Structure 1
């Protein structure tokens, strides 16, 4: 294995590629959503499959694991909530008219994005749409949320409008948009990418959002002013997934690498060569970076954060 980084687990129970992975808040369980139409729950300690979630009529595009429930969305236009112990489907959310790309569960709110060019906020108990966000000119791929209490320093005139927080969405129209959840209004449109915005991650403390695109760049923005702050250039393929940890940005790409960057400067710290396949999902927890590739497995290995003094040293991470 590569010096200092190696594959610790490989599981191949899915019958299709893995589109997303989600870690439980305590890091002890991992949820995977697959092109085989199922989601699976795994123990991170031994790599054993703990539960199988079946019911979607098409492939699973995304999943999110909470303490007592799992959420999945699918090309069948629906979102499902599951009991993690029994595997029983607890709720089905219907309303999108095309593929549901992403979901986000935060502060008892459920958000979703879809190929139908909308994002939505759902009442989880009533299984109904609370708010709809329209304005993108093409499908909405990714989203992130900032709660109102994270927006300290917001100008007074915006406080009431932002009382339910901000939603940030990325689209194949090449833009990201910042929405006021309470009224569904677009607060800012972030323009600069020359390709689809595939992924984004928020730093609520600094009011920044980082976006990754098919144009092979990562861009940092001020979500309140809409200003582009910096551009990260080194990937040779689409940037598919992002994680932000301790002011380090981790990016997974179609160029078969994971890169670590200094969020404040855009300087690359390390490159991790995953070999063989695009990196489709990336999660960081307690010093370990979990990544999924477009094959019938999921792999993880330790990818620590680094100091600026350690810049420029490459590290290989090989799958088993």
Structure 2
């Protein structure tokens, strides 16, 4: 990580833009696309298992449960679907939104969805809509769980809102971005947000105070992920940047991995996995040489 030494690998299987990615195992990633397919990738072998999503529009977002037992997908067809894992068998379809479903997450026994219709909806796992969370005046582009009761939303209206999903109450609104937001992440201590103003803002989840601004991207920040003191961001400027979450310093910048807009990125202890408009998934593996050296030493 410190030297930026990385092995790069590409995975191809989708026929159109890849909008979303989700971890579905320690070395497995699911992807969703404008081609309406879901692919499950084994990052070690490169093997792809492809499923027809049944969505009548693009697969825009996805999220797996913590135990990797279910996968949620949201689509421009205004529905959310629940799939069993690892077989990707369709369990339920949720209907209620008036426009495309832009993000999904699981909090305890609840499913939470956000939409271009400006609303957030809370469902039980039978597909029954429990409540609507209203207050945003733009598309609700991203969701992130804060704990077992709270979720944070990022909207095209340039604000972040913290909600109690059990009561539907908006607990806090955070303002600071000058244009619409596209992504939000929480690492257990701080909230990170990004969007059209090309800046990442860092927030205190309890006070709503903006603690820091990280600059470097030259276009919309579409996606972020965090792990173990690092944040990775992907942008329409076609670059991936790795940040130190404590200092705000940009540690690494990958300029030429994607030939077009980056829509989604995942981060683990050893890998960055990203996808976008160029219809391929890129894996940056920071541990390949270390693993090989360790294996060689064990053989000797």
Normalization by structure 1: what TM-score?
0.84
Shift of 1:293: 2.3
Q: Mean Cα displacement is larger for which, 55-64 or 293-302?
A: 293-302
Identify the residue that residue 50 of structure 1 maps to in structure 2.
49
Q: Hey, what does 1:311 align to over in structure 2?
A: none
Alignment of 1:284 onto 2:267? yes
Note if contact 2:144-2:184 (Cα within 8 Å) is conserved in structure 1.
yes
Check whether the contact 1:51–1:87 (CA below 8 A) recurs between aligned residues.
no
Correspondence for 1:177 among 138, 161, 168: 161
Q: Does 2:180 correspond to 1:196?
A: yes
**Deviation (angstroms), 1:97:** 0.7
Q: Please report how far the alpha carbon of residue 51 of structure 1 lies from its aligned counterpart in structure 2 after TM superposition.
A: 4.0
Q: Is the 8 A contact 1:53 1:82 kept in 2?
A: no
The aligned residue for residue 307 of structure 1 is none
Q: Which string of whole-angstrom CA distances, capped at 9 and with x for unpartnered residues, describes residues 104-135 of structure 1?
A: 123232111101101111101x2011221100
Tell me the residue number matched to 1:5.
Answer: 6
Classify 1:86/1:182 alpha carbon distance in 2 versus 1 (closer, same or farther; 3 Å). closer
Report the counterpart of residue 109 of structure 1 in structure 2: 110
- How many Å separate the matches in 1 of 2:135 and 2:261? 30
Q: Judging changes above 3 Å, is the alpha-carbon distance between structure 1 residues 85 and 5 closer, same or farther for their aligned structure 2 residues?
A: closer
- Aligned-residue offset at 1:36: 0.7
- Stretches of structure 2 that go unaligned for 5 or more consecutive residues are 288-300
| Aligned length in residues | 282
TM-score by length of 2: 0.89
Match of 2:239 among 244, 250, 257: 257
Question: Is 1:27–1:44's contact at 8 Å kept on the other side of the alignment?
Answer: no
Q: Hey, what does 1:141 align to over in structure 2? A: 141
How far the C-alpha of 1:286 sits from its partner, in A, is 3.1
Please list every run of 5 or more consecutive structure 1 residues that lacks an aligned counterpart in the other structure: 149-164, 305-320
Deviation at residue 18 of structure 1 after TM alignment: 0.4
Q: Higher relative CO (CA 8 A, sep ≥ 6), structure 1 or 2?
A: 1
Give the alignment's Cα RMSD to 1 decimal.
1.8
Deviations 1:123-168 (A, max 9, x none): 01x20112211000111000111225xxxxxxxxxxxxxxxx2110
Equivalent residues in 2 for 1:133-282 (5 A)? 133-148=133-148, 165-204=149-188, 206=189, 208-273=190-255, 274-282=257-265
Q: 4+ residue runs of structure 1 moved beyond 3 angstroms?
A: 84-87
Deviations for 1:59-99, whole angstroms, at most 9, x for unmatched residues? 10011234232221100000011233444311000111101
Partner Cα separation in structure 2 for residue 63 and residue 80 of structure 1: 9
Give the whole-Å Cα distance in 1 for the aligned partners of 2:4 and 2:120: 43
Q: Secondary structure at the match of 1:90?
A: strand
